[in-house]
Structures are given as C-alpha cells and as structure tokens.
C-alpha cells in the first residue's frame, strides 16, 4: 500500500466517525461539538491529493446532513446557510493546505483559526437566510445571538463546543497521524 492510499484510508475512517458523531450529537442535543472544521484543516494538511483533501470534509458534512434528515426530526438540508457552511469548509481546507510544519502550536493556531472562520461564515449564512431580516440591526442581532451566554453549563454553548470539539479532534487526529507515521513504514516518507 502506498503512502497516499494509506493517508486516504486514515482520513476516510475519520469521515465516518465525524458523520456519525454529528448525527449522534444532534440527537443528544450537544450541538457544534463535531469537529468538521478541524477535519478540513487535517485533510488539507495531510493529504497530497488536494481533490481528496477538499472532498473529505464536504462528504463528512453531506453524509451527516443526510443522517440528520433521516434519523432526526431536524432538517438535514436547510437552505442558503448550508451552502455558506459548505463554502466555509472549502476555505478552511484551503487553510489546512498551508499547514506544512505540524507542531502543537501551529496545529492549535490553524484549528482555532478554522473554528473562527466557520463561526463567522456560518452565522453570515444564518443572516443571509433572512431569519433576522436584511438590515444592519438584523446582522448585528444574528452575531450577538451566536455569542455564547451563560446558562446552566458553559459547555452547552455553541461557540465553546465548536472550539473544544475542533481542538480535541485536531489533537487526536494529528496525534494519531504522528504515531502512525512512526509505525507504518510507508508514512515515514511523508
């Protein structure tokens, strides 16, 4: 098995895990703890085949959107904001393609940057869907409503879950990949 095939198989397994996690988290009402943005950073950084690198987070999102639509009472497909979310994943994966020096600081920085980009763009998609109206006040309200606020548990907020999910996933994914590179001969040349 060559290096690219091994890389692709490792990341493909992560696609399934990500899609399943997103559907389960939706059912358990633990929103945004699914690390789709981190998957874009990871696949963009690790895969040499950039077509696959871009496709992987999009397929994970698509599969989970289908799963949410089939296995929950929420819509799996939700209009213009969904297209903005998919566009955000493309941008985040592009960011990941420039992550060549994979150390803890760089991975954390790219991951936080990816989470922030997804937060900003996904809420822009919410605004563009017209839920808050198409005024400056509606735009402001859309982002204000997206900022976490204290309820019973800080960990239940969308914003915090997004960053925690992405940072945790990046630590696990890049950590497993680093260990795999040491133990799987074909990956040592990466």
Distance CA 141, CA 54 (A): 32
For the cut 90, the answer to whether the pLDDT of residue 101 exceeds it is: yes
Q: Cβ–Cβ contacts within 10 Å for residue 139, how many?
A: 16
For the cut 90, the answer to whether the pLDDT of residue 136 exceeds it is: yes
Per-range mean pLDDT, top range of 118-132, 139-153, 172-186: 118-132
For the cut 60, the answer to whether the pLDDT of residue 115 exceeds it is: yes
For residue 85, CA distances in Å to 57, 90, 101, 126 come to 11, 9, 27, 10
Which of these, 120, 7, 12, 131, lies nearest to 60 by C-alpha position? 12
Residue corresponding to tokens 């566009």: 87
Residue range(s) defining the domain that contains residue 150: 3-187
Query: 26-48, pLDDT tens digit by residue?
Result: 666 666 666 788 889 998 998 88
For the cut 80, the answer to whether the pLDDT of residue 147 exceeds it is: no
**Length of the chain measured in residues:** 190
| Contacts for 180-183: CB closer than 8 Å, 24+ residues apart | 180/10
Which of these, 48, 50, 121, 108, lies nearest to 80 by C-alpha position? 121
Q: What is the mean pLDDT of residues 170-188?
A: 80
Q: What is the pLDDT of residue 187?
A: 59
pTM above 0.95, yes or no: no
Q: What is the pLDDT of residue 140?
A: 92
Q: How many domains does the chain have?
A: 1
Q: What is the pLDDT of residue 31?
A: 60
């Amino acid at each position: 098995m060559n290096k690219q095939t091994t890389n692709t198989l490792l990341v493909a397994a992560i696609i399934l895990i990500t899609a399943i996690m997103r559907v389960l988290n939706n059912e358990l009402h633990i929103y945004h703890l699914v690390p789709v943005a981190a998957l874009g950073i990871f696949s963009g950084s690790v895969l040499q085949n950039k077509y696959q690198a871009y496709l992987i987070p999009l397929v994970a999102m698509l599969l989970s959107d289908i799963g949410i639509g089939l296995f929950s009472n929420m819509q799996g497909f939700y209009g213009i904001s969904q297209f903005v979310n998919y566009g955000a994943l493309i941008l985040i994966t592009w960011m990941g393609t420039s992550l060549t020096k994979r150390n803890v600081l760089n991975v954390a920085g790219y991951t936080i940057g990816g989470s922030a980009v997804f937060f900003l763009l996904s809420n822009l998609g919410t605004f563009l869907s017209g839920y808050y109206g198409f005024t400056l006040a509606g735009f402001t309200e859309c982002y204000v409503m997206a900022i976490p606020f204290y309820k019973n548990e800080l960990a239940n907020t969308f914003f915090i879950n997004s960053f925690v999910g992405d940072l945790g996933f990046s630590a696990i994914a890049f950590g497993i990949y680093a260990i795999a590179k040491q133990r799987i001969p074909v990956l040592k040349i990466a």
